[in-house]
Amino acid sequence: MEGKKFYPTKRYLEFQKNAIANLESFWEKEAEKIPWFKRWEKVLVWDEPFAKWFVGGMLNASYGCIDAHLHSWRKNKVAIYWEDEQGNTKSFSYVQLHREVNKLASVLKKIGVEKGDIVVLYLPMIPELVFSMLATVRIGAIHTVVFSGFSSQALADRINDTRAKVLITADFGIRRGKFVPLKDIVDNALKLTPSIKKVVLIKRTEKEVKIEEGRDLLYHELLKNAENYVEPEPVESTHPLYILYTSGTTGKPKGIVHSTGGYLVYNYATYKWVFDISDESIYWCTADVGWVTGHSAIVYAPLLHGATIVIYEGAPDFPYLDKWWEIIEKYGVTIFYTSPTALRMFIRYGEEWIKKHDLSSLKILGTVGEPINPEVWEWYYKNIGNERCPIVDTWWQTETGGMMISPSPGLELVPLKPGSATLPLPGIDAEVVDDTGNPVPPGTKGYLVIKKPWPGMLMGIYEDPDRYKETYWSKFKGMYYTADYAMKDEEGYFWLLGRADEILKVAGHRIGTAEIEGAVVATPFAAEAAVVGMADPIKGEAIVIFVILKQGYNPDDSLKKKIIDSIRTQIGPFATPQEIYFVEKLPKTRSGKIMRRILKAIVQDKPIGDVTTLEDEASVEEIKTAYEEFKKMIR
């Protein structure tokens, strides 16, 4: 594609110009496409930096995602296809989904969950996870899904931040054929969380788990006395739909609060534009529901559109390397949405696994979570899409609630460029700016900002308005700071260049360096730690840790193991580091800030650049030496 010019089409430019110029009427038209019980009085109340969308409007997410379809042909179509690693399957029509959600909603009411209460969900990728989300919001409660790869400590921290009374979990998750003891993890977490009074336990295996009388209630027992219908609770548009914790630059995760009305409108609109989704789509997003992608892309957007969703519980390459391609063929998946990390892994396995399957049902392919390198893009285009399917590289964040920069073939297919997320979606006023907030010239790296509110944006950080203002709205006046580096090229296309803050994307998972450092210094022997990301051919980024030991401790492998154990218990196995280096000193600025840029350059064997602000260059030498020694060791 080299040498070609790929300008945005005239139609896109006009559409976008009109959207930005008439923001409120633009979004109002989109809002009219989802079901409301009562129309809003005001499209937007912008009390910068707090946005309220569709104020006065009343709706219910569970009604929009399920009940609304029961009056049409969609009633008896499949809403959910579920499959696990062993090939066990379940499917639910919209009527059946309605039944399951209503029953659980009545159970939640009976055990005391009320409108506005927070329900914590710690569940594997089973259909009950979707039922639990929709049942919670049906009665006007708010869900907080905690990714089931998080440890008991991480789960406890999130529960304590919300002070939730009810938690829904399962006995086990199953991954790579292994049973993950979720209930045990929950039991450990609950020792630290006085607020939880009731646990609803989904038993999916015959294996024994501990039951605490009075607290733990069995899902299947509760359902026996459940009602078949619960009136969906009308909530105001700005009533929180969910809180989802995500990593920030301090050790304490941020509870991102999303609204009901704005969030649903935004996701309804953008899934039409980006994926051209309809009630005839068979839509498979491979993310875990524990992350924002799962919330928007597995549950709310596709179900609002009355599409069929595919849910797979398990590892991508287990029990055989073509499990995913088998699923696409088996269910006739039309839209496939995955991560660059997964694709990079499949590239390694070779194409013969793909060729075994007929993937001709596919229409649109998507990626999310991290930058996709052009080679991987080309591979995806050729081998999965057979050069027929546009690739939508969708840039967004937990905070944005939905996709922000992406091709939009459902609206107008602009020419694609491998490796570029292309252009902001209509109504999204994105810019790349320098340190002073002024736009940078084409081809120059800067910070990605959003200059106008959008309906999917976070309402705030749970119970922490100051942190919300400080994190997103203090760096540049009147602009939402994404903390991502980006560049616009001559044709106006956006290229995402990774995080500008101390957050890592490891296999697409978002992890704060401060969280990992906290887990390291929680060991009795670590005095100080610095974490950086190192480019990794599969995971995008891998975790590297530098540790200064307390007096009296000598570096050895047993300490490394203890550090890894501490990370696994404080955060979860997905935050396991790739390398740990013991050092005497860390390179710091005169004000005492660790110069991660230098650590990063060293681990990646790149030139260091300007070190003049360093307090003591010897420490750089030391780290270099440690690195060189390590390199020798692994050779």
> Contact residues for ligand PRX (CB under 6 A)?
246, 291-293, 368-371, 393-398, 421, 482, 484, 496, 499, 505, 510
Task: Please say which residue, 193 or 293, places its beta carbon nearer to ligand PRX.
Answer: 293
State the nearest-atom distance from the C-beta of 190 to ligand PRX, in Å: 26
Task: Please say which residue, 140 or 401, places its beta carbon nearer to ligand PRX.
Answer: 401
Q: Would you call 94 exposed, middle or buried from its count of C-beta atoms within 10 A (0-12, 13-18, 19+)?
A: buried
State the nearest-atom distance from the C-beta of 220 to ligand PRX, in Å: 34
CA Rg, the chain, in Å? Answer: 24
In degrees, rounded to 5, the angle at the alpha carbon of residue 507 between the alpha carbons of residues 505 and 513 is 35
Token pair 């050729």 in the structure block, residue: 382
Q: How far apart are CA 256 and CA 246, in angstroms?
A: 7
Query: Which among 124, 110, 137 is positioned nearest to 186, based on CA atoms?
Result: 124
State the nearest-atom distance from the C-beta of 369 to ligand PRX, in Å: 5
Task: Please say which residue, 313 or 393, places its beta carbon nearer to ligand PRX.
Answer: 393
Q: Could you tell me which residues are beta bridge partners of residue 257?
A: 243, 460
Torsion of CA 118, 130, 123, 331, to 10 degrees: -160
Instruction: Extract the runs of DSSP E, i.e. beta strands, from 203-351.
Output: 216-218, 235-236, 240-246, 254-259, 282-285, 308-313, 335-338
Task: Please say which residue, 596 or 624, places its beta carbon nearer to ligand PRX.
Answer: 596
Instruction: Extract the runs of DSSP E, i.e. beta strands, from 537-572.
Output: 540-549
Which two structure tokens, joined as six digits, stand for 331? Answer: 């269910």
Strand 173-175 and strand 254-259: the pairing is: unpaired
Q: How far apart are CA 135 and CA 128, in angstroms?
A: 10
Query: Which among 71, 72, 128 is positioned nearest to 103, based on CA atoms?
Result: 128
| Cβ atoms of residues 304 and 380 within 8 Å | no
Q: How far apart are CA 169 and CA 446, in angstroms?
A: 43
Task: Please say which residue, 106 or 148, places its beta carbon nearer to ligand PRX.
Answer: 148
| Cβ atoms of residues 447 and 485 within 8 Å | yes
For the chain, the distance separating the N- and C-terminal CA atoms, rounded to the nearest angstrom, is: 39
State the nearest-atom distance from the C-beta of 602 to ligand PRX, in Å: 23
Q: Would you call 11 exposed, middle or buried from its count of C-beta atoms within 10 A (0-12, 13-18, 19+)?
A: exposed
Task: Please say which residue, 461 or 549, places its beta carbon nearer to ligand PRX.
Answer: 461
Task: Please say which residue, 288 or 517, places its beta carbon nearer to ligand PRX.
Answer: 288
633: alpha, beta or left? (left if phi > 0; alpha if psi -120 to 50): alpha
Task: Please say which residue, 138 or 488, places its beta carbon nearer to ligand PRX.
Answer: 488
Q: What count of other Cβ atoms lies within 10 Å of the Cβ of residue 231?
A: 11
- Distances in Å between the Cα of 447 and the Cα atoms of 80, 228, 422, 535, 556 are 39, 51, 16, 20, 41
State the nearest-atom distance from the C-beta of 339 to ligand PRX, in Å: 9
Task: Please say which residue, 139 or 532, places its beta carbon nearer to ligand PRX.
Answer: 532
Task: Please say which residue, 84 or 541, places its beta carbon nearer to ligand PRX.
Answer: 541
Task: Please say which residue, 482 or 566, places its beta carbon nearer to ligand PRX.
Answer: 482
Q: Could you tell me which residues are beta bridge partners of residue 18?
A: none
In degrees, rounded to 5, the angle at the alpha carbon of residue 202 between the alpha carbons of residues 199 and 206 is 125
State the nearest-atom distance from the C-beta of 44 to ligand PRX, in Å: 23
Q: How far apart are CA 520 and CA 566, in angstroms?
A: 7
Q: Would you call 285 exposed, middle or buried from its count of C-beta atoms within 10 A (0-12, 13-18, 19+)?
A: buried
Task: Please say which residue, 392 or 521, places its beta carbon nearer to ligand PRX.
Answer: 392
Q: How far apart are CA 349 and CA 342, in angstroms?
A: 11
State the nearest-atom distance from the C-beta of 336 to ligand PRX, in Å: 15
| Cβ atoms of residues 93 and 77 within 8 Å | yes
State the nearest-atom distance from the C-beta of 367 to ligand PRX, in Å: 6
State the nearest-atom distance from the C-beta of 294 to ligand PRX, in Å: 9
| Cβ atoms of residues 509 and 574 within 8 Å | yes
State the nearest-atom distance from the C-beta of 153 to ligand PRX, in Å: 20
State the nearest-atom distance from the C-beta of 483 to ligand PRX, in Å: 6
Task: Please say which residue, 377 or 582, places its beta carbon nearer to ligand PRX.
Answer: 377
Task: Please say which residue, 236 or 484, places its beta carbon nearer to ligand PRX.
Answer: 484
On the question of a cis peptide bond just before residue 439, with omega within 30 degrees of 0, the verdict is no
Task: Please say which residue, 45 or 538, places its beta carbon nearer to ligand PRX.
Answer: 538
| Cβ atoms of residues 296 and 267 within 8 Å | yes
State the nearest-atom distance from the C-beta of 368 to ligand PRX, in Å: 5
Task: Please say which residue, 266 or 396, places its beta carbon nearer to ligand PRX.
Answer: 396
